[in-house]
Structure 1
Protein backbone atom coordinates (compact mmCIF):
# COMPACT_ATOMS: atom_id res chain seq x y z
CA UNK A 1 0.00 0.00 0.00
CA UNK A 2 1.36 3.43 -0.95
CA UNK A 3 2.02 5.99 1.75
CA UNK A 4 -0.58 8.74 1.93
CA UNK A 5 -0.99 11.92 3.90
CA UNK A 6 -3.78 11.96 6.44
CA UNK A 7 -7.16 13.66 6.29
CA UNK A 8 -10.45 13.89 8.12
CA UNK A 9 -13.79 13.14 6.54
CA UNK A 10 -16.69 15.10 7.93
CA UNK A 11 -19.93 13.17 8.02
CA UNK A 12 -23.51 13.65 8.99
CA UNK A 13 -25.20 11.15 11.28
CA UNK A 14 -28.53 10.92 9.48
CA UNK A 15 -29.86 7.45 8.81
CA UNK A 16 -31.97 6.58 5.79
CA UNK A 17 -35.06 4.35 5.88
CA UNK A 18 -32.93 1.18 5.71
CA UNK A 19 -30.81 2.18 8.71
CA UNK A 20 -27.76 3.02 6.60
CA UNK A 21 -25.73 6.06 7.63
CA UNK A 22 -25.60 8.77 4.93
CA UNK A 23 -22.25 10.54 4.94
CA UNK A 24 -21.19 13.89 3.47
CA UNK A 25 -17.84 13.57 1.72
CA UNK A 26 -16.06 16.87 2.36
CA UNK A 27 -12.38 16.39 3.13
CA UNK A 28 -10.46 18.70 5.47
CA UNK A 29 -6.86 18.81 6.57
CA UNK A 30 -6.18 17.55 10.07
CA UNK A 31 -3.45 20.05 10.87
CA UNK A 32 -3.08 21.43 14.39
CA UNK A 33 -5.76 23.85 15.48
CA UNK A 34 -8.55 22.62 13.19
CA UNK A 35 -10.78 21.56 16.09
CA UNK A 36 -12.11 24.00 18.65
CA UNK A 37 -14.76 21.78 20.26
CA UNK A 38 -15.28 18.04 20.51
CA UNK A 39 -14.79 15.79 17.52
CA UNK A 40 -18.26 15.10 16.19
CA UNK A 41 -19.05 12.46 13.56
CA UNK A 42 -15.55 12.25 12.01
CA UNK A 43 -14.18 9.39 9.96
CA UNK A 44 -10.40 9.73 9.51
CA UNK A 45 -9.16 8.37 6.18
CA UNK A 46 -5.96 8.71 4.13
CA UNK A 47 -6.17 11.43 1.46
CA UNK A 48 -5.60 8.85 -1.27
CA UNK A 49 -8.73 6.85 -0.26
CA UNK A 50 -11.30 7.30 -3.03
CA UNK A 51 -13.79 4.54 -2.21
CA UNK A 52 -17.19 4.87 -0.58
CA UNK A 53 -17.68 5.05 3.17
CA UNK A 54 -18.77 1.58 4.23
CA UNK A 55 -20.12 -0.10 7.30
CA UNK A 56 -17.12 -0.87 9.48
CA UNK A 57 -15.22 2.39 8.95
CA UNK A 58 -14.22 3.86 12.30
CA UNK A 59 -16.37 6.85 13.35
CA UNK A 60 -15.20 9.14 16.17
CA UNK A 61 -17.87 11.05 18.10
CA UNK A 62 -17.31 12.89 21.39
CA UNK A 63 -20.67 14.69 21.58
CA UNK A 64 -21.56 13.90 25.16
CA UNK A 65 -21.12 15.49 28.54
CA UNK A 66 -17.47 15.13 29.52
CA UNK A 67 -16.31 14.36 25.97
CA UNK A 68 -12.87 15.86 25.41
CA UNK A 69 -11.63 14.36 22.14
CA UNK A 70 -10.14 17.35 20.35
CA UNK A 71 -8.56 15.85 17.22
CA UNK A 72 -8.05 12.52 15.46
CA UNK A 73 -5.22 11.92 12.98
CA UNK A 74 -5.06 8.88 10.71
CA UNK A 75 -1.59 7.28 10.99
CA UNK A 76 -1.99 3.88 9.34
CA UNK A 77 -4.64 1.23 8.75
CA UNK A 78 -4.72 0.24 12.43
CA UNK A 79 -3.27 3.35 14.10
CA UNK A 80 -4.75 6.74 14.96
CA UNK A 81 -3.37 9.62 17.02
CA UNK A 82 -6.02 10.90 19.46
CA UNK A 83 -5.57 14.35 20.99
CA UNK A 84 -7.49 14.98 24.21
CA UNK A 85 -8.25 18.39 25.63
CA UNK A 86 -7.94 18.92 29.40
CA UNK A 87 -11.13 18.59 31.40
CA UNK A 88 -11.79 22.19 32.45
CA UNK A 89 -15.24 21.71 33.99
CA UNK A 90 -14.26 19.30 36.77
CA UNK A 91 -13.92 20.51 40.35
Structure 2
Protein backbone atom coordinates (compact mmCIF):
# COMPACT_ATOMS: atom_id res chain seq x y z
CA UNK A 1 0.00 0.00 0.00
CA UNK A 2 1.56 3.27 -1.05
CA UNK A 3 0.98 6.53 0.71
CA UNK A 4 0.44 9.80 -1.15
CA UNK A 5 3.33 12.23 -0.81
CA UNK A 6 3.03 14.61 2.09
CA UNK A 7 2.49 18.29 1.39
CA UNK A 8 6.09 19.16 2.31
CA UNK A 9 7.64 16.83 -0.26
CA UNK A 10 8.52 18.32 -3.63
CA UNK A 11 8.65 16.79 -7.06
CA UNK A 12 11.68 16.97 -9.34
CA UNK A 13 9.91 19.61 -11.42
CA UNK A 14 9.53 22.01 -8.50
CA UNK A 15 11.96 24.89 -8.63
CA UNK A 16 12.89 27.77 -6.40
CA UNK A 17 13.55 29.84 -9.51
CA UNK A 18 10.70 31.80 -11.02
CA UNK A 19 11.02 31.97 -14.81
CA UNK A 20 11.90 34.18 -16.55
CA UNK A 21 14.59 35.42 -14.19
CA UNK A 22 18.00 37.05 -14.40
CA UNK A 23 20.45 34.31 -13.48
CA UNK A 24 24.19 34.81 -12.88
CA UNK A 25 26.60 32.05 -13.90
CA UNK A 26 30.27 32.10 -12.92
CA UNK A 27 32.67 30.46 -15.34
CA UNK A 28 36.34 29.91 -14.54
CA UNK A 29 39.16 29.01 -16.85
CA UNK A 30 42.79 29.67 -17.60
CA UNK A 31 43.39 33.31 -18.44
CA UNK A 32 43.87 32.85 -22.18
CA UNK A 33 42.92 34.83 -25.25
CA UNK A 34 39.39 34.05 -26.34
CA UNK A 35 37.96 32.84 -23.02
CA UNK A 36 35.67 35.82 -22.50
CA UNK A 37 34.53 35.81 -26.13
CA UNK A 38 33.83 32.07 -25.99
CA UNK A 39 31.78 32.35 -22.80
CA UNK A 40 29.78 35.33 -24.09
CA UNK A 41 29.17 33.57 -27.41
CA UNK A 42 27.74 30.55 -25.58
CA UNK A 43 25.60 32.82 -23.40
CA UNK A 44 24.16 34.51 -26.49
CA UNK A 45 23.26 31.11 -27.96
CA UNK A 46 20.99 30.42 -24.99
CA UNK A 47 19.75 33.97 -24.37
CA UNK A 48 19.13 36.03 -27.51
CA UNK A 49 18.85 39.16 -25.33
CA UNK A 50 22.16 38.54 -23.54
CA UNK A 51 23.95 41.82 -22.84
CA UNK A 52 27.72 41.35 -23.02
CA UNK A 53 28.24 44.71 -21.28
CA UNK A 54 27.06 43.08 -18.03
CA UNK A 55 29.94 40.58 -17.98
CA UNK A 56 32.08 40.75 -14.85
CA UNK A 57 35.71 39.62 -14.84
CA UNK A 58 37.83 38.63 -11.88
CA UNK A 59 41.42 37.51 -12.12
CA UNK A 60 42.86 34.99 -9.66
CA UNK A 61 45.50 36.17 -7.18
CA UNK A 62 48.29 34.62 -9.19
CA UNK A 63 46.84 35.81 -12.50
CA UNK A 64 46.67 32.31 -13.97
CA UNK A 65 42.86 32.01 -13.95
CA UNK A 66 40.00 34.27 -14.90
CA UNK A 67 36.48 34.24 -13.48
CA UNK A 68 33.82 35.36 -15.95
CA UNK A 69 30.37 36.07 -14.56
CA UNK A 70 27.58 36.19 -17.11
CA UNK A 71 23.97 37.01 -16.34
CA UNK A 72 21.40 35.42 -18.60
CA UNK A 73 17.63 35.55 -18.63
CA UNK A 74 16.71 32.05 -17.54
CA UNK A 75 13.49 30.87 -19.13
CA UNK A 76 13.41 27.23 -18.01
CA UNK A 77 15.22 24.52 -16.10
CA UNK A 78 16.02 22.83 -19.42
CA UNK A 79 17.72 26.00 -20.68
CA UNK A 80 19.84 26.27 -17.53
CA UNK A 81 20.78 22.59 -17.68
CA UNK A 82 21.85 22.94 -21.29
CA UNK A 83 23.93 26.10 -20.83
CA UNK A 84 25.68 24.53 -17.82
CA UNK A 85 26.34 21.37 -19.87
CA UNK A 86 27.66 23.37 -22.83
CA UNK A 87 29.92 25.54 -20.70
CA UNK A 88 31.17 22.64 -18.55
CA UNK A 89 32.21 20.57 -21.54
CA UNK A 90 34.04 23.38 -23.34
CA UNK A 91 37.82 22.77 -23.30
CA UNK A 92 38.61 26.34 -22.19
CA UNK A 93 36.37 26.08 -19.13
CA UNK A 94 37.56 24.56 -15.85
CA UNK A 95 34.58 25.23 -13.53
CA UNK A 96 31.00 26.47 -13.86
CA UNK A 97 29.09 27.66 -10.79
TM superposition score category, shorter chain reference: under 0.3
Q: Which has the higher contact order (CA 8 A, sep 6+)?
A: 2
Q: Indicate the structure with greater strand content.
A: 1
- Looking at secondary structure, tell me which structure has more helix per residue: 2
* Structure ID, larger Rg: 2
